[in-house]
Amino acid sequence: MQLDDLYRRVIMDHYKNPRNRGTMNEESVTINLNNPTCGDRISLQLQVVEGKVTDAKFSGEGCSISMSSASMMTEAVKGKTFDEALAMAEKFSALMKGDPVEFDEYEELDALSGVNKFPARIKCATLAWNALRKGIEQQQESH
Amino acid sequence: MNINAIREQFPILHQDINGHPLVYLDSAASSQKPRSVIDAVNRYYELDNANVHRGVHTLGSRATDAYEGAREKVAKLLNAGAPEQIIFTRGTTTALNLVASSYARSNCGEGDEIVITPMEHHSNLIPWQQAAKATGATLKYIPMQPDGTISLEDIEKTITPQTKVVSVTYVSNVLGLINPIKEITQIAHRNGAIMVVDGAQSTPHMKIDLQDLDVDFYAFSGHKMCGPTGIGALYGKKSLLNKMEPIEYGGEMIDFVDLYESTWKEIPYRFEGGTPIIAGAVGLGAAIDFLQEIGLDEIDRHERQLAAYAYEKLSSLDGITLYGPKQNRVGLVTFNLEDVHPHDVATVLDSKGIAIRAGHHCCQPLMRWLNVSATARASFYLYNTEDDIDRLADALLQTKEFFGHAIG
Protein backbone atom coordinates (compact mmCIF):
# COMPACT_ATOMS: atom_id res chain seq x y z
CA MET A 1 0.00 0.00 0.00
CA GLN A 2 1.72 3.13 -1.23
CA LEU A 3 0.34 6.41 0.05
CA ASP A 4 1.92 8.22 -2.87
CA ASP A 5 -0.35 6.24 -5.21
CA LEU A 6 -3.30 7.89 -3.55
CA TYR A 7 -2.08 11.34 -2.68
CA ARG A 8 -0.49 12.37 -5.96
CA ARG A 9 0.86 15.85 -6.47
CA VAL A 10 -1.99 16.83 -8.79
CA ILE A 11 -4.55 15.78 -6.20
CA MET A 12 -2.89 17.72 -3.42
CA ASP A 13 -2.65 20.74 -5.70
CA HIS A 14 -6.41 20.66 -6.37
CA TYR A 15 -7.02 20.17 -2.65
CA LYS A 16 -4.91 23.14 -1.70
CA ASN A 17 -5.95 25.35 -4.61
CA PRO A 18 -9.44 24.20 -5.55
CA ARG A 19 -10.69 25.34 -8.94
CA ASN A 20 -14.27 26.57 -9.25
CA ARG A 21 -14.87 26.70 -5.53
CA GLY A 22 -17.68 29.09 -4.71
CA THR A 23 -21.26 29.81 -5.63
CA MET A 24 -22.97 31.23 -8.67
CA ASN A 25 -25.41 34.08 -8.62
CA GLU A 26 -26.96 33.49 -12.01
CA GLU A 27 -29.88 31.20 -12.39
CA SER A 28 -28.29 27.79 -12.09
CA VAL A 29 -28.98 24.18 -11.21
CA THR A 30 -28.03 23.33 -7.61
CA ILE A 31 -27.47 19.79 -6.38
CA ASN A 32 -26.75 19.03 -2.72
CA LEU A 33 -25.35 15.62 -1.99
CA ASN A 34 -24.08 14.01 1.23
CA ASN A 35 -21.96 11.00 1.85
CA PRO A 36 -23.93 9.82 4.90
CA THR A 37 -21.33 7.29 5.97
CA CYS A 38 -18.70 9.92 6.63
CA GLY A 39 -20.31 13.35 6.69
CA ASP A 40 -18.81 14.72 3.48
CA ARG A 41 -21.14 17.05 1.63
CA ILE A 42 -21.05 18.88 -1.66
CA SER A 43 -23.19 21.58 -3.17
CA LEU A 44 -22.70 21.62 -6.94
CA GLN A 45 -23.97 24.43 -9.13
CA LEU A 46 -24.24 24.08 -12.89
CA GLN A 47 -24.96 26.79 -15.39
CA VAL A 48 -26.81 25.15 -18.20
CA VAL A 49 -27.43 26.54 -21.69
CA GLU A 50 -29.20 24.43 -24.30
CA GLY A 51 -28.10 21.02 -23.11
CA LYS A 52 -24.59 22.18 -22.29
CA VAL A 53 -22.79 22.76 -19.00
CA THR A 54 -21.38 26.25 -19.51
CA ASP A 55 -20.08 26.74 -15.99
CA ALA A 56 -19.73 24.73 -12.79
CA LYS A 57 -18.94 25.62 -9.20
CA PHE A 58 -18.89 23.67 -5.96
CA SER A 59 -18.83 24.23 -2.23
CA GLY A 60 -18.88 21.83 0.68
CA GLU A 61 -16.72 19.98 3.14
CA GLY A 62 -14.75 16.82 2.80
CA CYS A 63 -11.42 15.09 2.63
CA SER A 64 -8.62 15.75 0.17
CA ILE A 65 -9.97 13.10 -2.20
CA SER A 66 -13.57 14.32 -2.33
CA MET A 67 -12.65 17.99 -2.62
CA SER A 68 -9.91 17.52 -5.22
CA SER A 69 -12.22 15.27 -7.21
CA ALA A 70 -14.89 17.99 -7.17
CA SER A 71 -12.34 20.55 -8.28
CA MET A 72 -11.21 18.38 -11.20
CA MET A 73 -14.73 17.38 -12.18
CA THR A 74 -15.91 20.99 -12.45
CA GLU A 75 -12.90 21.82 -14.63
CA ALA A 76 -13.45 18.75 -16.78
CA VAL A 77 -17.13 19.22 -17.58
CA LYS A 78 -17.16 22.93 -18.34
CA GLY A 79 -18.23 23.41 -21.93
CA LYS A 80 -19.36 19.79 -22.34
CA THR A 81 -22.78 18.72 -23.56
CA PHE A 82 -24.93 16.65 -21.20
CA ASP A 83 -24.09 13.49 -23.14
CA GLU A 84 -20.37 14.22 -23.10
CA ALA A 85 -20.46 14.97 -19.38
CA LEU A 86 -22.40 11.78 -18.60
CA ALA A 87 -19.95 9.79 -20.71
CA MET A 88 -17.12 11.23 -18.61
CA ALA A 89 -18.98 10.26 -15.43
CA GLU A 90 -19.26 6.69 -16.77
CA LYS A 91 -15.60 6.67 -17.56
CA PHE A 92 -14.81 7.91 -14.07
CA SER A 93 -16.81 5.00 -12.59
CA ALA A 94 -14.74 2.65 -14.74
CA LEU A 95 -11.56 4.30 -13.43
CA MET A 96 -12.74 3.65 -9.86
CA LYS A 97 -13.26 -0.02 -10.70
CA GLY A 98 -9.66 -0.22 -11.86
CA ASP A 99 -10.41 -0.33 -15.59
CA PRO A 100 -7.61 1.08 -17.74
CA VAL A 101 -9.18 4.32 -18.98
CA GLU A 102 -7.55 7.62 -19.83
CA PHE A 103 -9.03 11.06 -19.82
CA ASP A 104 -7.77 12.77 -22.96
CA GLU A 105 -10.32 15.53 -22.33
CA TYR A 106 -8.79 16.41 -18.96
CA GLU A 107 -5.71 14.41 -18.16
CA GLU A 108 -5.43 15.46 -14.51
CA LEU A 109 -8.31 13.09 -13.74
CA ASP A 110 -5.95 10.18 -14.37
CA ALA A 111 -4.27 11.08 -11.08
CA LEU A 112 -7.30 9.72 -9.23
CA SER A 113 -6.71 6.21 -10.59
CA GLY A 114 -4.84 5.32 -7.37
CA VAL A 115 -8.08 5.64 -5.35
CA ASN A 116 -9.06 2.27 -6.77
CA LYS A 117 -6.56 0.62 -4.42
CA PHE A 118 -8.24 2.22 -1.39
CA PRO A 119 -11.77 0.79 -1.49
CA ALA A 120 -12.92 2.80 1.53
CA ARG A 121 -12.13 6.02 -0.31
CA ILE A 122 -13.88 5.39 -3.65
CA LYS A 123 -17.07 6.97 -2.31
CA CYS A 124 -15.09 10.14 -1.56
CA ALA A 125 -13.92 10.41 -5.17
CA THR A 126 -17.32 9.69 -6.72
CA LEU A 127 -19.37 12.14 -4.63
CA ALA A 128 -18.94 15.09 -7.00
CA TRP A 129 -19.57 12.92 -10.08
CA ASN A 130 -22.76 11.57 -8.52
CA ALA A 131 -23.90 15.15 -7.96
CA LEU A 132 -23.18 15.91 -11.62
CA ARG A 133 -25.18 12.90 -12.82
CA LYS A 134 -28.06 13.84 -10.57
CA GLY A 135 -28.09 17.42 -11.84
CA ILE A 136 -28.02 16.43 -15.50
CA GLU A 137 -30.67 13.75 -15.03
CA GLN A 138 -32.93 16.29 -13.33
CA GLN A 139 -32.45 18.66 -16.27
CA GLN A 140 -33.15 15.94 -18.80
CA GLU A 141 -36.30 14.85 -16.98
CA SER A 142 -37.68 18.37 -16.72
CA HIS A 143 -37.30 19.01 -20.44
CA MET B 1 -3.89 -7.51 34.54
CA ASN B 2 -1.41 -9.32 32.30
CA ILE B 3 -1.82 -7.61 28.94
CA ASN B 4 0.37 -10.04 27.06
CA ALA B 5 -1.65 -13.00 28.30
CA ILE B 6 -4.86 -11.18 27.33
CA ARG B 7 -3.54 -10.30 23.88
CA GLU B 8 -2.60 -13.94 23.34
CA GLN B 9 -6.28 -14.81 23.55
CA PHE B 10 -7.25 -12.57 20.61
CA PRO B 11 -6.17 -14.34 17.40
CA ILE B 12 -6.97 -11.36 15.14
CA LEU B 13 -4.47 -9.06 16.84
CA HIS B 14 -1.50 -11.12 15.70
CA GLN B 15 -1.28 -10.13 12.08
CA ASP B 16 0.37 -7.53 9.88
CA ILE B 17 -1.72 -4.92 8.13
CA ASN B 18 -0.04 -3.17 5.20
CA GLY B 19 3.30 -4.48 6.37
CA HIS B 20 3.00 -3.38 10.00
CA PRO B 21 1.81 -5.19 13.12
CA LEU B 22 -1.87 -4.35 13.60
CA VAL B 23 -2.73 -1.69 16.19
CA TYR B 24 -6.49 -1.91 16.67
CA LEU B 25 -7.88 1.35 18.06
CA ASP B 26 -11.51 1.06 16.96
CA SER B 27 -13.10 -1.01 19.72
CA ALA B 28 -15.78 1.61 20.37
CA ALA B 29 -17.09 0.71 16.90
CA SER B 30 -16.66 -3.03 17.40
CA SER B 31 -14.36 -4.96 19.71
CA GLN B 32 -12.29 -7.99 18.79
CA LYS B 33 -13.22 -11.47 20.01
CA PRO B 34 -11.22 -13.76 22.29
CA ARG B 35 -10.67 -17.42 21.42
CA SER B 36 -13.17 -18.50 24.11
CA VAL B 37 -16.03 -16.64 22.40
CA ILE B 38 -15.14 -17.94 18.94
CA ASP B 39 -14.91 -21.47 20.37
CA ALA B 40 -18.22 -21.19 22.25
CA VAL B 41 -20.08 -20.25 19.06
CA ASN B 42 -18.37 -23.05 17.12
CA ARG B 43 -19.04 -25.57 19.88
CA TYR B 44 -22.69 -24.60 19.98
CA TYR B 45 -23.05 -25.25 16.24
CA GLU B 46 -20.99 -28.43 16.37
CA LEU B 47 -22.69 -30.05 19.37
CA ASP B 48 -25.89 -28.36 20.61
CA ASN B 49 -27.64 -26.59 17.74
CA ALA B 50 -31.45 -26.86 17.59
CA ASN B 51 -34.38 -24.52 17.97
CA VAL B 52 -35.24 -23.38 21.49
CA HIS B 53 -38.35 -23.61 23.67
CA ARG B 54 -40.12 -26.23 21.58
CA GLY B 55 -38.50 -29.56 20.73
CA VAL B 56 -38.77 -32.45 23.13
CA HIS B 57 -35.46 -33.83 21.96
CA THR B 58 -32.11 -33.57 23.73
CA LEU B 59 -30.53 -31.02 21.41
CA GLY B 60 -33.57 -28.76 21.82
CA SER B 61 -33.10 -28.89 25.58
CA ARG B 62 -29.37 -28.18 25.33
CA ALA B 63 -29.96 -25.22 23.02
CA THR B 64 -32.65 -23.87 25.34
CA ASP B 65 -30.39 -24.26 28.38
CA ALA B 66 -27.56 -22.49 26.59
CA TYR B 67 -29.81 -19.63 25.49
CA GLU B 68 -31.48 -19.17 28.87
CA GLY B 69 -28.13 -19.59 30.60
CA ALA B 70 -26.86 -16.61 28.61
CA ARG B 71 -29.86 -14.58 29.77
CA GLU B 72 -28.95 -15.35 33.38
CA LYS B 73 -25.36 -14.28 32.74
CA VAL B 74 -26.53 -10.95 31.36
CA ALA B 75 -28.82 -10.41 34.35
CA LYS B 76 -25.95 -11.13 36.76
CA LEU B 77 -23.46 -8.95 34.85
CA LEU B 78 -25.77 -5.94 35.11
CA ASN B 79 -27.13 -6.83 38.58
CA ALA B 80 -30.50 -6.63 36.89
CA GLY B 81 -32.49 -8.90 39.21
CA ALA B 82 -34.92 -11.34 37.61
CA PRO B 83 -33.59 -12.74 34.27
CA GLU B 84 -36.99 -12.35 32.57
CA GLN B 85 -36.29 -8.62 32.61
CA ILE B 86 -33.62 -9.25 29.95
CA ILE B 87 -34.88 -9.30 26.35
CA PHE B 88 -32.43 -10.44 23.71
CA THR B 89 -32.30 -8.13 20.70
CA ARG B 90 -30.11 -7.62 17.66
CA GLY B 91 -28.23 -4.89 19.52
CA THR B 92 -28.62 -1.49 21.14
CA THR B 93 -30.44 0.01 18.16
CA THR B 94 -33.19 -2.63 18.18
CA ALA B 95 -33.47 -2.40 21.97
CA LEU B 96 -33.94 1.38 21.98
CA ASN B 97 -36.37 1.17 19.07
CA LEU B 98 -38.40 -1.35 21.05
CA VAL B 99 -38.81 1.08 23.96
CA ALA B 100 -39.59 4.00 21.65
CA SER B 101 -42.05 2.01 19.52
CA SER B 102 -43.82 0.16 22.30
CA TYR B 103 -43.57 2.12 25.55
CA ALA B 104 -43.32 5.69 24.23
CA ARG B 105 -45.96 5.39 21.57
CA SER B 106 -48.59 4.15 24.02
CA ASN B 107 -47.59 6.41 26.93
CA CYS B 108 -46.87 9.76 25.25
CA GLY B 109 -49.30 12.24 23.75
CA GLU B 110 -49.73 15.92 22.99
CA GLY B 111 -48.35 18.14 25.74
CA ASP B 112 -45.98 15.41 26.91
CA GLU B 113 -42.21 15.66 26.61
CA ILE B 114 -39.40 13.31 25.68
CA VAL B 115 -36.00 14.50 26.92
CA ILE B 116 -32.63 13.52 25.40
CA THR B 117 -29.24 15.22 24.84
CA PRO B 118 -27.45 16.48 21.70
CA MET B 119 -24.60 13.99 22.26
CA GLU B 120 -26.80 10.95 21.59
CA HIS B 121 -25.87 8.38 18.96
CA HIS B 122 -28.41 8.37 16.11
CA SER B 123 -29.86 5.16 17.59
CA ASN B 124 -30.85 7.01 20.77
CA LEU B 125 -32.06 10.07 18.88
CA ILE B 126 -34.05 9.12 15.79
CA PRO B 127 -36.36 6.62 17.59
CA TRP B 128 -37.39 9.49 19.89
CA GLN B 129 -37.77 11.96 17.01
CA GLN B 130 -40.10 9.48 15.36
CA ALA B 131 -41.99 8.69 18.58
CA ALA B 132 -42.47 12.43 19.20
CA LYS B 133 -43.78 12.92 15.65
CA ALA B 134 -46.15 9.96 15.95
CA THR B 135 -47.57 10.94 19.35
CA GLY B 136 -47.48 14.75 19.23
CA ALA B 137 -45.08 14.85 22.17
CA THR B 138 -42.33 17.49 22.28
CA LEU B 139 -38.69 16.42 21.94
CA LYS B 140 -36.45 18.42 24.29
CA TYR B 141 -32.68 18.49 24.70
CA ILE B 142 -30.66 18.95 27.87
CA PRO B 143 -28.08 21.57 26.80
CA MET B 144 -24.36 20.81 26.95
CA GLN B 145 -21.59 22.79 28.65
CA PRO B 146 -18.62 23.98 26.54
CA ASP B 147 -16.72 20.76 27.41
CA GLY B 148 -19.69 18.60 26.42
CA THR B 149 -20.84 17.67 29.92
CA ILE B 150 -24.39 18.29 31.14
CA SER B 151 -25.03 20.08 34.44
CA LEU B 152 -27.44 19.00 37.14
CA GLU B 153 -28.96 22.47 36.97
CA ASP B 154 -29.80 22.06 33.27
CA ILE B 155 -31.11 18.54 33.86
CA GLU B 156 -33.41 19.90 36.58
CA LYS B 157 -34.57 22.69 34.27
CA THR B 158 -35.24 20.50 31.22
CA ILE B 159 -37.10 17.63 32.91
CA THR B 160 -40.59 18.76 34.02
CA PRO B 161 -43.79 17.09 35.25
CA GLN B 162 -44.82 16.93 31.55
CA THR B 163 -41.81 14.72 30.78
CA LYS B 164 -42.75 11.09 30.18
CA VAL B 165 -39.45 9.67 28.94
CA VAL B 166 -35.81 10.64 29.54
CA SER B 167 -33.22 8.81 27.43
CA VAL B 168 -29.51 9.49 27.82
CA THR B 169 -26.32 7.67 26.92
CA TYR B 170 -24.23 6.47 29.85
CA VAL B 171 -20.97 7.16 27.98
CA SER B 172 -20.57 9.38 24.90
CA ASN B 173 -19.02 7.49 21.98
CA VAL B 174 -17.40 10.73 20.79
CA LEU B 175 -16.60 12.80 23.87
CA GLY B 176 -15.66 9.86 26.10
CA LEU B 177 -17.50 11.41 29.04
CA ILE B 178 -19.69 9.65 31.60
CA ASN B 179 -23.14 11.09 32.25
CA PRO B 180 -24.53 11.24 35.81
CA ILE B 181 -27.14 8.54 35.17
CA LYS B 182 -28.10 7.96 38.80
CA GLU B 183 -28.81 11.65 39.38
CA ILE B 184 -30.71 12.03 36.08
CA THR B 185 -32.78 8.95 36.98
CA GLN B 186 -33.73 10.44 40.35
CA ILE B 187 -34.80 13.69 38.69
CA ALA B 188 -36.77 11.80 36.02
CA HIS B 189 -38.56 9.70 38.62
CA ARG B 190 -39.34 12.71 40.79
CA ASN B 191 -41.14 14.16 37.76
CA GLY B 192 -42.97 10.92 36.98
CA ALA B 193 -40.89 10.10 33.88
CA ILE B 194 -39.19 6.82 33.05
CA MET B 195 -35.42 6.64 32.52
CA VAL B 196 -33.90 4.91 29.48
CA VAL B 197 -30.13 4.43 29.19
CA ASP B 198 -28.05 3.73 26.09
CA GLY B 199 -25.41 1.42 27.54
CA ALA B 200 -23.58 0.60 24.29
CA GLN B 201 -20.36 2.32 25.39
CA SER B 202 -20.59 1.66 29.15
CA THR B 203 -21.38 -2.07 29.39
CA PRO B 204 -18.10 -3.26 27.80
CA HIS B 205 -15.92 -1.07 29.98
CA MET B 206 -17.25 -0.68 33.52
CA LYS B 207 -19.20 -2.40 36.26
CA ILE B 208 -22.93 -1.75 35.86
CA ASP B 209 -25.43 -2.05 38.71
CA LEU B 210 -28.91 -1.55 37.31
CA GLN B 211 -30.67 -2.02 40.63
CA ASP B 212 -28.53 0.67 42.20
CA LEU B 213 -28.99 3.03 39.23
CA ASP B 214 -32.74 2.28 39.32
CA VAL B 215 -33.11 2.99 35.57
CA ASP B 216 -36.25 1.67 33.87
CA PHE B 217 -34.69 0.51 30.59
CA TYR B 218 -31.08 -0.20 29.64
CA ALA B 219 -29.81 -1.22 26.19
CA PHE B 220 -26.46 -2.62 25.05
CA SER B 221 -24.73 -4.56 22.24
CA GLY B 222 -22.69 -7.73 22.49
CA HIS B 223 -20.21 -7.00 19.71
CA LYS B 224 -18.64 -4.06 21.55
CA MET B 225 -17.87 -6.27 24.56
CA CYS B 226 -16.00 -9.18 22.97
CA GLY B 227 -19.23 -10.91 21.89
CA PRO B 228 -20.54 -11.71 18.41
CA THR B 229 -22.34 -9.21 16.17
CA GLY B 230 -26.12 -9.44 15.95
CA ILE B 231 -26.80 -9.93 19.66
CA GLY B 232 -27.60 -7.40 22.35
CA ALA B 233 -30.20 -6.93 25.02
CA LEU B 234 -32.76 -4.66 26.54
CA TYR B 235 -33.28 -4.63 30.29
CA GLY B 236 -36.70 -3.41 31.37
CA LYS B 237 -38.40 -3.32 34.73
CA LYS B 238 -40.88 -6.17 34.99
CA SER B 239 -43.72 -3.84 35.98
CA LEU B 240 -43.27 -1.84 32.73
CA LEU B 241 -42.55 -4.77 30.40
CA ASN B 242 -45.68 -6.55 31.61
CA LYS B 243 -47.79 -3.65 30.37
CA MET B 244 -46.06 -3.25 27.00
CA GLU B 245 -47.28 -4.44 23.62
CA PRO B 246 -44.94 -6.50 21.45
CA ILE B 247 -43.77 -4.81 18.24
CA GLU B 248 -43.02 -8.00 16.31
CA TYR B 249 -45.53 -10.80 15.96
CA GLY B 250 -45.02 -14.40 14.91
CA GLY B 251 -43.65 -17.65 16.23
CA GLU B 252 -42.17 -18.06 19.68
CA MET B 253 -43.98 -15.06 21.22
CA ILE B 254 -47.60 -16.29 21.35
CA ASP B 255 -49.72 -17.91 24.04
CA PHE B 256 -52.87 -18.80 22.10
CA VAL B 257 -53.68 -18.12 18.46
CA ASP B 258 -57.16 -18.14 16.98
CA LEU B 259 -58.36 -17.03 13.58
CA TYR B 260 -59.13 -13.47 14.65
CA GLU B 261 -57.49 -13.02 18.07
CA SER B 262 -54.23 -14.02 19.72
CA THR B 263 -52.63 -13.65 23.12
CA TRP B 264 -48.99 -13.30 24.05
CA LYS B 265 -46.54 -15.28 26.10
CA GLU B 266 -45.19 -13.88 29.35
CA ILE B 267 -42.11 -11.62 29.34
CA PRO B 268 -39.45 -11.77 27.97
CA TYR B 269 -40.71 -14.14 25.24
CA ARG B 270 -43.46 -11.87 23.96
CA PHE B 271 -40.72 -9.48 22.78
CA GLU B 272 -38.65 -12.20 21.12
CA GLY B 273 -40.77 -13.13 18.10
CA GLY B 274 -39.23 -15.63 15.68
CA THR B 275 -36.32 -17.98 16.23
CA PRO B 276 -33.99 -16.02 18.48
CA ILE B 277 -30.28 -15.31 18.03
CA ILE B 278 -29.26 -18.47 19.88
CA ALA B 279 -25.61 -18.77 18.82
CA GLY B 280 -25.19 -15.04 19.39
CA ALA B 281 -26.52 -15.33 22.93
CA VAL B 282 -24.18 -18.26 23.59
CA GLY B 283 -21.26 -16.16 22.34
CA LEU B 284 -22.36 -13.22 24.47
CA GLY B 285 -22.48 -15.51 27.50
CA ALA B 286 -18.89 -16.59 26.80
CA ALA B 287 -17.86 -12.94 26.42
CA ILE B 288 -19.39 -12.12 29.80
CA ASP B 289 -17.48 -15.02 31.39
CA PHE B 290 -14.29 -13.76 29.79
CA LEU B 291 -14.76 -10.16 30.97
CA GLN B 292 -15.79 -11.17 34.48
CA GLU B 293 -12.82 -13.43 34.87
CA ILE B 294 -10.54 -10.44 34.27
CA GLY B 295 -12.87 -8.12 36.18
CA LEU B 296 -14.73 -5.08 34.86
CA ASP B 297 -13.11 -2.86 37.49
CA GLU B 298 -9.66 -3.95 36.29
CA ILE B 299 -10.63 -3.30 32.66
CA ASP B 300 -12.04 0.12 33.58
CA ARG B 301 -8.85 1.05 35.45
CA HIS B 302 -6.63 -0.09 32.56
CA GLU B 303 -8.61 1.90 29.99
CA ARG B 304 -8.67 5.05 32.06
CA GLN B 305 -4.89 4.84 32.35
CA LEU B 306 -4.60 4.45 28.60
CA ALA B 307 -7.02 7.34 27.99
CA ALA B 308 -5.06 9.62 30.32
CA TYR B 309 -1.80 8.58 28.67
CA ALA B 310 -3.26 9.13 25.19
CA TYR B 311 -4.71 12.50 26.16
CA GLU B 312 -1.32 13.71 27.45
CA LYS B 313 0.61 12.26 24.53
CA LEU B 314 -1.68 13.56 21.79
CA SER B 315 -2.24 16.99 23.30
CA SER B 316 1.50 17.61 23.04
CA LEU B 317 1.27 17.44 19.21
CA ASP B 318 1.15 20.74 17.35
CA GLY B 319 -2.08 21.56 15.56
CA ILE B 320 -4.22 18.89 17.24
CA THR B 321 -7.65 19.54 18.75
CA LEU B 322 -8.99 17.08 21.32
CA TYR B 323 -12.73 16.93 22.03
CA GLY B 324 -14.48 16.29 25.32
CA PRO B 325 -13.45 16.88 28.93
CA LYS B 326 -9.95 16.11 30.13
CA GLN B 327 -11.05 14.60 33.43
CA ASN B 328 -13.19 11.54 34.12
CA ARG B 329 -13.03 10.15 30.59
CA VAL B 330 -13.26 6.58 29.43
CA GLY B 331 -10.98 4.84 26.96
CA LEU B 332 -11.28 6.90 23.84
CA VAL B 333 -9.78 10.07 22.38
CA THR B 334 -11.50 12.04 19.64
CA PHE B 335 -9.43 14.57 17.75
CA ASN B 336 -8.69 16.49 14.58
CA LEU B 337 -5.39 17.46 13.01
CA GLU B 338 -5.17 20.97 11.64
CA ASP B 339 -5.52 21.09 7.84
CA VAL B 340 -5.84 17.32 7.45
CA HIS B 341 -9.27 15.80 7.04
CA PRO B 342 -9.98 12.87 9.42
CA HIS B 343 -10.45 10.50 6.45
CA ASP B 344 -7.01 11.34 5.24
CA VAL B 345 -5.66 10.83 8.76
CA ALA B 346 -7.34 7.41 8.91
CA THR B 347 -5.97 6.38 5.51
CA VAL B 348 -2.41 7.35 6.41
CA LEU B 349 -2.72 5.55 9.77
CA ASP B 350 -4.12 2.46 8.04
CA SER B 351 -1.08 2.41 5.76
CA LYS B 352 0.93 2.02 8.98
CA GLY B 353 -1.27 -0.77 10.34
CA ILE B 354 -3.24 1.44 12.74
CA ALA B 355 -7.05 1.16 12.68
CA ILE B 356 -8.98 4.21 13.88
CA ARG B 357 -12.44 5.56 13.11
CA ALA B 358 -13.01 8.70 11.06
CA GLY B 359 -16.33 10.32 10.31
CA HIS B 360 -19.35 11.56 12.20
CA HIS B 361 -19.60 8.48 14.49
CA CYS B 362 -23.39 8.35 13.99
CA CYS B 363 -23.60 11.66 15.86
CA GLN B 364 -24.39 14.31 13.25
CA PRO B 365 -26.06 16.73 15.71
CA LEU B 366 -23.04 16.46 18.02
CA MET B 367 -20.69 17.13 15.07
CA ARG B 368 -22.63 20.33 14.34
CA TRP B 369 -22.43 21.26 18.03
CA LEU B 370 -18.65 20.78 17.86
CA ASN B 371 -18.70 22.79 14.63
CA VAL B 372 -16.88 20.11 12.62
CA SER B 373 -18.04 17.87 9.80
CA ALA B 374 -16.10 14.86 11.03
CA THR B 375 -13.49 13.80 13.57
CA ALA B 376 -10.96 11.03 14.06
CA ARG B 377 -11.31 8.72 17.07
CA ALA B 378 -8.97 6.25 18.71
CA SER B 379 -10.70 3.95 21.18
CA PHE B 380 -9.11 1.48 23.57
CA TYR B 381 -10.00 -1.82 25.14
CA LEU B 382 -8.45 -4.33 27.49
CA TYR B 383 -6.00 -5.57 24.85
CA ASN B 384 -4.47 -2.16 24.06
CA THR B 385 -1.15 -0.97 25.43
CA GLU B 386 0.79 2.27 25.87
CA ASP B 387 2.92 1.04 23.01
CA ASP B 388 -0.17 1.19 20.76
CA ILE B 389 -0.63 4.83 21.75
CA ASP B 390 3.04 5.60 21.09
CA ARG B 391 2.63 4.16 17.60
CA LEU B 392 -0.50 6.27 17.12
CA ALA B 393 1.31 9.44 18.20
CA ASP B 394 4.29 8.70 15.94
CA ALA B 395 2.01 8.00 13.00
CA LEU B 396 0.11 11.24 13.59
CA LEU B 397 3.39 13.15 13.48
CA GLN B 398 4.22 11.45 10.19
CA THR B 399 0.73 12.26 8.89
CA LYS B 400 1.30 15.92 9.61
CA GLU B 401 4.65 15.79 7.87
CA PHE B 402 3.24 13.91 4.89
CA PHE B 403 0.43 16.39 4.36
CA GLY B 404 2.53 19.40 5.26
CA HIS B 405 4.93 18.30 2.54
CA ALA B 406 2.23 17.23 0.10
CA ILE B 407 0.26 20.46 0.23
CA GLY B 408 3.09 22.70 1.44
pLDDT tens digits, residue range B101-133?
999 999 999 999 999 999 999 999 999 999 999
Per-residue b or e along B66-89, where b marks 16 or more CB atoms closer than 10 Å to that residue's CB: bbbebbebbbebbebeebbbbbbb
In this predicted structure, the answer to whether residue B266 has a pLDDT above a threshold of 60 is yes
Q: Check residue B352 and give its pLDDT.
A: 97
Mean pLDDT of A60-88: 95
Instruction: Give pLDDT tens digits for B218-244.
Output: 999 999 999 999 999 999 999 999 999
Chain B interface includes A124 (CB < 8 A)? yes
- The pLDDT tens digits for B130-155 are 999 999 999 999 999 999 999 999 99
Please confirm, yes or no, whether B362 is among the known catalytic residues: yes
Q: A1 vs B19: CB contact, 8 Å cut-off?
A: yes
Global ipTM: 0.87
pLDDT at B407: 57
Residue B374 C-alpha, separation from nearest chain A C-alpha, in angstroms: 6
Which chain B residues are closer than 8 Å to A65 by Cβ? 343-344
B40 pLDDT higher than 90: yes
* C-beta atoms of B407 and A15 within 8 A: yes
Confidence at B85, pLDDT banded by 50, 70, 90: very high
| Mean pLDDT value of segment B171-188 | 98
Of B18, B359, B403, the CB nearest to A38: B359
The verdict on B238 touching A (C-beta cutoff 8 Å) is no
pLDDT at A28: 84
User: B327: pLDDT confidence band, cut at 50, 70 and 90?
Assistant: confident
Q: What is the pLDDT of residue B227?
A: 98
A121 touches chain B (CB under 8 A): yes
Q: Give me the residue from A6, A9, A16 closest to B347, CB to CB.
A: A6
- Please state which of the ranges A50-54, B214-218, B224-228 shows the lowest mean pLDDT: A50-54
Whether B402 and chain A come into contact, CB under 8 Å, resolves to: yes
pLDDT, average across residues A69-98:
96
Task: Render pLDDT for B287-314 as a digit per residue (tens, 0 to 9).
Answer: 999 999 999 999 999 999 999 999 999 9
B351 close to A (CB below 8 A): yes
Cβ neighbours of A120 in B, within 8 Å: 347
